[in-house]
Amino acid sequence: MYGTVPGSAPAPTSVLQVGPDGLFEVGPVSDGLAWLSIGLFVLAALLEWRERRRVGGATSPENAPIGKPVRVVAFAAWLTFAAFWLNLVPHFAFVHQSYVEGLLSLVAVPASAYVGWLVYSGRDTLFVLTRAVAVMGVVYLPFETIPALSVAGIALPAPRQVLIEHTAVMTALVMEAVGYTPEMIESSEGYDATFRWLYDDGGEEHIIHVSVVLACTGIGSMSIFAGLIAAVRAPLVRKLRALAIAIGIIYVLNVLRTSFITIVTGNQYMHWFPEAVLFLFGEASPYRVSFLVSDRIISQVLAVVALIGVTYLVVRQLPELLIVLEDVLYVLTGEEHDLQEVIDLPREPTNLDGAGRSAATASVDAAGSEASEGSGAETTEAPESEVGESSDPDAMD
């Protein structure tokens, strides 16, 4: 969530300026890198599909070899993706004040570059993850970058506005159900998405604003699962079932999360260890403490746990996703893993079972060995103050 003294601060999109081109800001540079990387991912996915169909035919496209031009495009996509995350590290760590997101962004830089190298070196199963990122970007970027438009005299709101205002309305309904009715006013982005609280601090009244922004909507997490589910090859019925489970759980948990943060912040319920919290996050206003504890610490840690749980439930419906998780573990540990042996999954026929899995993974393991050998709502205290953004670990982002 994002906040400032009303009318005194810019919208929460360009919050960090370093240099004349806005490097390390959330704005034109980050948007440009995002669209460039996703464009390359989409191109790599299309080229891979064409190559497999051309060489392998319609009967066994998965066993078809992938040519070097396709690998070069995929490698370029992953390197650009690494540059995108590198550009955002200062924002998440210092402006957004999220240690979780800052650390994850920092880890994503070498991880993305390494995945690109593995794809280029011959680990073909990582093309599934490449396709997944392409779909994730296609789902997420319109909400992040497309502004309001006027078509044939009809005003169309920005996609982000529709999503943010819907999340704010659902948050208000949940809070009303448990007895809290703060006034909803216009946010710094011009949306009906800010909650205005009156807080009595020992006889002195303070106005605290809690604003819903895009990171509060859960679209980041939803796009991740949409990309993963779309990228694997499996029966459509099971893919739709897995998608419904992921989207449904994320949606419900996200609204509960925003309601929890808004109530706690507006009523200062978690004013715990204020000196330590303010020192840890480099803040001065004591009215930020409840927000930082409820959002940046509790909610973001629980969001990671929730995503792990959702992943488990989705994999039970779609065991084909195990190949992606095994590749992620390989990138992190440098060792091969067989998750089907350690996870209790229903034994439905999938493209990971029996001879199909053996044929698919034998060439991958060999390629991986060759690759290894070759490479070795912001707050300000004042008569009126506004508390910042209930973020998402782009988290239920």
- What is the rounded CA–CA span in Å between residue 101 and residue 300? 8
Note if 216 is an active site residue. Answer: yes
Whether 138 contacts 39, CB under 8 Å: no
- What is the rounded CA–CA span in Å between residue 185 and residue 286? 24
Instruction: Supply angle C-alpha 341, 344, 349, rounded to 5.
Output: 80
- What is the rounded CA–CA span in Å between residue 288 and residue 210? 11
Parallel/antiparallel/unpaired status of strands 384-387 and 204-211:
parallel
Q: Which of 71, 131, 160, 216 is catalytic?
A: 216
Q: What are the residues whose beta carbons fall under 8 Å from the beta carbon of 119, sequence distance 6 or more?
A: 71, 74, 75, 78, 126, 127, 130
- What is the rounded CA–CA span in Å between residue 143 and residue 158? 8
Backbone torsions φ then ψ of 98, nearest 5 degrees: -120, 110
The three-class DSSP label of residue 69 is helix
Q: Which of 257, 288, 296, 357 is catalytic?
A: 257
Going 161 to 92 to 251 to 234, the CA torsion angle's sign is positive
- Strand intervals (E) in the chain: 149-151, 154-156, 183-186, 192-201, 204-211, 384-387
Q: Which residues are catalytic?
A: 216, 257
